[in-house]
Amino acid sequence: MKIISYNVNGIRAALNKGFIEWLVAANPDVICLQEIKANKEQLDLSLFDNAGYPYHYWFSATKKGYSGVAVLSKTRPIKVVYGTGIEAMDNEGRNLRIDFEEVSIMSLYLPSGTNDDRLDFKLNYMAQFQGYINKLKREISNLIICGDYNICHTEIDIHNPIQNKNTSGFLPVERNWLGNFIDSGFTDSFRHLNKEPHHYTWWSYRANARNNNKGWRIDYNMVSNYMKDRIKRAYILPEAKHSDHCPIVVEIE
């Protein structure tokens, strides 16, 4: 099974940049999208049907043009779960899960902490999300959580760790949380197979950051440790440029 995660920074903008043609060429079994910034009523859903993804699920934020996640699948899941049941989280449309017989896949969009109020919201969200996942793992052992975590885990995951040490997304409290999240039973699939530096998934639009590869690795396909031995490939697709993020891929046996 080939699974892609992609923060598209607006699905309508991505569609205008050739997203469908890219999706057909990439040919994942499942793709998790984040920051769709749209309601499904604003989209021509036949585009996804015709691309080979007749099973598509959308979970938008209450606030229009903001946040939101989606999952597109070639095959019908046995269950779809919108949100977490925690109102503060679900109002922003940040979690959507589809279950198959042998694997469950979640699209996750963790908040950014761009100012003090949002940092507090992010930290609270992270704590609640960890509690939610701790309970979910008792029910589902084969869980893959794909998405934009808005956190660089270690210094190798960011182009300038010293300069960014006090920047949200690389704060010690955020990095510690992500480390503890991994330790709670997940494998960072990309780092599991790729130990080299200079691999990023997000670049600022400023200062020609992408062309200079001055980026951050904040998108992850986290695979339950129960499935660790089934990870066959994990890689990043920086050449896909529909967004300020790029897609990340994990292939599971």
- The set of catalytic residues is 148
Instruction: Give the H or E element holding residue 139.
Output: helix 116-139
CA–CA separation, 98 vs 29, rounded Å? 13
**In this structure, what are the phi and psi dihedrals at residue 23, rounded to the nearest 5 degrees?**
-60, -45
Burial (0-12, 13-18, 19+ Cβ within 10 Å), 121: middle
Burial (0-12, 13-18, 19+ Cβ within 10 Å), 164: middle
Q: Which residues, including other chains, have CB under 8 Å from residue 58's CB and lie 6 or more apart?
A: 36, 39, 40, 43, 68, 70, 96
**In this structure, what are the phi and psi dihedrals at residue 208, rounded to the nearest 5 degrees?**
55, 35
Strand segments, DSSP code E, in the chain are 2-7, 30-34, 55-59, 69-73, 79-82, 95-99, 104-109, 143-148, 186-188, 202-203, 215-216, 219-224, 231-236, 248-252
Report strand pairing: 186-188 vs 219-224. antiparallel
